[in-house]
Chains A and B, each alone.
Chain A
């Protein structure tokens, strides 16, 4: 710059300053570049000019702005072609006083445009080694028609300031894009969090925790109470991480929540989820998944494991037992219709059953050590006196404290039988459906007088089926009818659209009928047979039920509300 003429230098400095202002305030870098090129060409008194930029692959130079008699915007040349290509490759500017003497000069453009190029002034657009393109000025007007060193120096200064502006603009655009991606990811994560269940009350038997390694997660867990009080739960881990895993997770979680409401056998449920996912899954993606159902009245968990980490049962005596998967992950092969995943039945007996993803055992502690299965067991043992939500949070905290970011999503789910076991121990022995029980029939029926005849027919036939004598079948039919009437008239009273789920079970020498309604939970103490010496219409039903059945009792109200009445008749 020291060789600039003093008079021209002031003018040049003004131009540099003006272009700097233009670049820093522009919203449209292409438009600003075109304006800058015109001002530079005017200043240097060039007949024409062009601004070339490299494409993303740095293979092609494309004209983004041009001044002069012919518009060559859009013209593409190879990145090492022509004078501009040479400037880019060498990353230095030059003056070619007579292009006819330069073998590198590309005559094709002149032939195409009809323009005659005599001399060229060219400077690379680059910031350090970051090459962006080149500015080229053609044929100096007036004088000897030759560019001089002052022109080259000025162009070099202007080109580097333009290059910086382009780079800035590109980075800003990238940031905007990144910000948009980040915001979209944030929204996806929010939707995903909404797919996880709400934190349950501390005394609820099932709890879970999920910490995504990235914004979104390929892990999920879910649980919900069924009308009869049992709790359905699931935990899954989609292969891979990132958005594709997150979308797959959303599908699996939705399928579980939807199908789990009607299919209460874990093996069958997994088979359904598997065939749904296998039907549409992307090749190579699969889900390891555990689905189970917990009954607090028995403490038994029945579950099915599709290729997931073994579940760990932490018994009250401190020992651990594990239950490994028997089937491959879901989503790999659709399987034969009706093929079930085997179910395992585990009595928790006051213990806690843990399901977790490998992100837990492969996670790093603050010390930099991997938690490992032994570490997880030790952790759970050490915190066994903590309430379950706290215990799970402790594990998640330990894994997120590490300096290294999470390797994988961390997800844990626990079914804690401790409180229910205490209730079972101190309460009246709650009769249960043991493994020898056979469900004869289970149906859901509107709680209206109109359906009682239907219920009677079904109950009567079912009683005969399990071996009741004709007279016992009639009695049981009456008792169930009366119990349903109580539900219709007293439990639902003014509530429309009530339903009753009738479950008829044979268990050894007993016929058991479970009547489940979804009305507000009633206090069993208020349901008393009336004094028969007081002869009046009404109130006989409860008496008839107690007279006929060998056992009549309300079971512990389900978590989801409602009532379950259990009627037992010994089959002679």
Chain B
């Protein structure tokens, strides 16, 4: 799994890429929690995530809950079909704000 963090006009765009599974989710979790710690609104770009499992979803949930506690916005954007299927199965589509692309996500968090 690879990742990229860009600051875009007062918001953080975190792009994850590759498989987020039991092996890589601890990294994903750290990246997401560190980003939330910077007190900026967050857009997680999941367009490059072809596979995510329950541990990956759990990392997203944890970061999301921490952002909410500190009053920061946290949205998912450009979720690949594969990842969306998992979020649907886990009923997390009702929990996360999911935007169709990063621009929409940025608009939503500002």
Q: A residues engaging B (CB < 8 A)?
A: 449-450, 452-453, 456, 471, 474-475, 478, 481-482, 485, 488-489, 532, 535-541, 543-544, 547-548
Check B22 against A540 for contact (C-beta < 8 Å). Answer: no
Check B21 against A449 for contact (C-beta < 8 Å). Answer: yes
Check B89 against A488 for contact (C-beta < 8 Å). Answer: no
**What are 6 A-B interface contacts by the 8 Å CB criterion?**
A449-B23, A452-B22, A475-B85, A485-B22, A544-B53, A547-B89
11 further A-B contacts with Cβ under 8 Å, apart from A481-B53, A547-B89, are: A449-B23, A453-B21, A471-B85, A478-B53, A482-B54, A485-B54, A537-B62, A540-B58, A541-B54, A544-B54, A544-B86
Least Cβ–Cβ distance between B46 and chain A, in angstroms: 15
List B44-102 residues whose CB lies under 8 Å from chain A. Answer: 51, 53-55, 57-59, 61-62, 65, 82, 85-86, 89-91, 95
- Could you say which of A450, A535, A540 contacts B54, with CB atoms under 8 Å apart? A540
Residue of B with least CB distance to A532: B91
Residue of B with least CB distance to A537: B58
The dominant DSSP class at the A interface is: helix
Least Cβ–Cβ distance between B69 and chain A, in angstroms: 13
Residue of A with least CB distance to B62: A537
Q: State in angstroms the CA–CA spacing of A547 and B53 once bound together.
A: 14
Q: State in angstroms the CA–CA spacing of A482 and B21 once bound together.
A: 9
Check B53 against A535 for contact (C-beta < 8 Å). Answer: no
Check B61 against A535 for contact (C-beta < 8 Å). Answer: yes
Check A540 against B51 for contact (C-beta < 8 Å). Answer: no
Q: Answer yes or no: B19 CB below 8 A from chain A CBs.
A: yes
Check B90 against A453 for contact (C-beta < 8 Å). Answer: no
Least Cβ–Cβ distance between A515 and chain B, in angstroms: 15
- Could you say which of A452, A478, A537 contacts B23, with CB atoms under 8 Å apart? A452
Chain B residues, Cβ within 8 Å of A482: 53-54
- Could you say which of A449, A452, A488, A532 contacts B90, with CB atoms under 8 Å apart? A532
Check A474 against B91 for contact (C-beta < 8 Å). Answer: no
Check A478 against B22 for contact (C-beta < 8 Å). Answer: no
Q: State in angstroms the CA–CA spacing of A535 and B89 once bound together.
A: 14
Q: State in angstroms the CA–CA spacing of A539 and B61 once bound together.
A: 12
Check B51 against A456 for contact (C-beta < 8 Å). Answer: yes
Identify which of A452, A471, A475, A488 gathers the most chain B CB atoms within 10 Å of its CB.
A452
Check A537 against B21 for contact (C-beta < 8 Å). Answer: no
Q: State in angstroms the CA–CA spacing of A540 and B19 once bound together.
A: 17
Indicate with 1 or 0, residue by residue over B14-47, a CB within 8 angstroms of chain A CB atoms: 0000010111000000000000000000000000
Check A540 against B82 for contact (C-beta < 8 Å). Answer: no
Q: State in angstroms the CA–CA spacing of A548 and B86 once bound together.
A: 10
Least Cβ–Cβ distance between A189 and chain B, in angstroms: 53
Chain A residues, Cβ within 8 Å of B89: 475, 478, 543-544, 547-548
Chain A residues, Cβ within 8 Å of B58: 537-538, 540
Q: State in angstroms the CA–CA spacing of A478 and B53 once bound together.
A: 7
Chain A residues, Cβ within 8 Å of B21: 449, 452-453, 456, 481
Chain A residues, Cβ within 8 Å of B19: 453
Check B61 against A536 for contact (C-beta < 8 Å). Answer: yes
Given A482-B54, A535-B61, A540-B58; A453-B86 close (CB under 8 Å): no
Identify which of A450, A535, A539, A548 gathers the most chain B CB atoms within 10 Å of its CB.
A535
Identify which of B53, B65, B82, B85 gathers the most chain A CB atoms within 10 Å of its CB.
B53
Q: State in angstroms the CA–CA spacing of A543 and B65 once bound together.
A: 21
Given A535-B95, A537-B62, A544-B90; A488-B53 close (CB under 8 Å): no
Q: State in angstroms the CA–CA spacing of A488 and B55 once bound together.
A: 13
Given A474-B82, A541-B54, A544-B86; A488-B91 close (CB under 8 Å): no
Least Cβ–Cβ distance between B60 and chain A, in angstroms: 8
Chain B residues, Cβ within 8 Å of A544: 53-54, 86, 89-90
Check B23 against A540 for contact (C-beta < 8 Å). Answer: no
- Could you say which of A452, A475, A540, A548 contacts B57, with CB atoms under 8 Å apart? A540
Check A537 against B59 for contact (C-beta < 8 Å). Answer: yes
Chain A residues, Cβ within 8 Å of B85: 471, 474-475
Q: State in angstroms the CA–CA spacing of A558 and B95 once bound together.
A: 41
Q: State in angstroms the CA–CA spacing of A475 and B53 once bound together.
A: 11
Q: State in angstroms the CA–CA spacing of A474 and B55 once bound together.
A: 17
Chain B residues, Cβ within 8 Å of A535: 61, 65, 95
Chain B residues, Cβ within 8 Å of A481: 21-22, 53
Check B23 against A450 for contact (C-beta < 8 Å). Answer: yes
- Could you say which of A485, A532, A548 contacts B55, with CB atoms under 8 Å apart? A485
Q: State in angstroms the CA–CA spacing of A537 and B53 once bound together.
A: 12
Q: State in angstroms the CA–CA spacing of A456 and B59 once bound together.
A: 20
Chain A residues, Cβ within 8 Å of B23: 449-450, 452-453
Least Cβ–Cβ distance between B101 and chain A, in angstroms: 23
Residue of B with least CB distance to A484: B22
Least Cβ–Cβ distance between A550 and chain B, in angstroms: 14
Residue of A with least CB distance to B25: A449
Chain B residues, Cβ within 8 Å of A452: 21-23
Residue of B with least CB distance to A456: B51
Residue of A with least CB distance to B23: A449
Residue of A with least CB distance to B19: A453
Least Cβ–Cβ distance between B51 and chain A, in angstroms: 7
Q: State in angstroms the CA–CA spacing of A535 and B61 once bound together.
A: 8
Chain B residues, Cβ within 8 Å of A449: 21-23
Chain B residues, Cβ within 8 Å of A547: 89
Residue of A with least CB distance to B90: A540
Least Cβ–Cβ distance between B7 and chain A, in angstroms: 26
Residue of B with least CB distance to A545: B54
Least Cβ–Cβ distance between B84 and chain A, in angstroms: 11
Residue of B with least CB distance to A533: B91
Q: State in angstroms the CA–CA spacing of A453 and B23 once bound together.
A: 9
Residue of B with least CB distance to A538: B58
Chain A residues, Cβ within 8 Å of B54: 482, 485, 538-541, 543-544
